[in-house]
Amino acid sequence: MSEQREAGRVLLVEDDPENCQAIGELLAAEGFEIDPFLQAEAAWNALVSQAVQPDVVVADVRMPGLDGVALLRRIRARFDSLPVFLVSAFADEELLSQGLKAGALEVFPKPIHGASLVRAIRRAMGAANSAGDRGGETHDPS
């Protein structure tokens, strides 16, 4: 475990408190700063208001209210280069396909293989940093 906290900031959206805590602890142990949310709508509001400024988003697919795919679509419309990963306990091929089509970099099945998620996040952050971009906001006419 690294004492440094410079790995990047992750917006974590997971409606199950235990899963949110477990994923958050996993990522924190790898040096990431975590902004955890139990509701996608609250996470979206924090993102839009710039209360959080993540380098990457990790969101559950199935949540009450605003689900992970709908959150992803909002993020793509407003923050087009912000990397988003989805996680799901459901092996619903249609849902997974929707997530990828909406712009998720990857959809991870639960239980999550921690090392794979960490590698993917680091890879996405490295690509965004080399492009000199941190989830640049695009013009949203709405």
Q: Is the backbone of residue 62 left (phi > 0), alpha (psi -120 to 50) or beta?
A: beta
140 in a structural domain: no
Alpha-carbon radius of gyration of the chain: 14
Range of the domain at 68: 9-130
Cα–Cα distance between 128 and 142 in angstroms, integer?
26
Q: Cα-Cα-Cα-Cα dihedral of 67, 86, 34, 122, to 10°?
A: -160
Query: In sequence order, what E strands does 14-127 have?
Result: 33-37, 56-60, 84-88, 106-109
Q: Taking all residues of the chain, what is their mean pLDDT, rounded to a whole number? A: 87
Residue-wise pLDDT tens digits, 107-126 = 998 899 999 999 999 999 98
Residue-wise pLDDT tens digits, 68-107 = 999 999 999 999 999 999 999 877 777 778 889 999 999 9
Confidence (pLDDT) at 126: 87
Number of domains in the chain: 1
142 in a structural domain: no
- Which CATH number fits the domain that encloses residue 35? 3.40.50.2300
135 in a structural domain: no
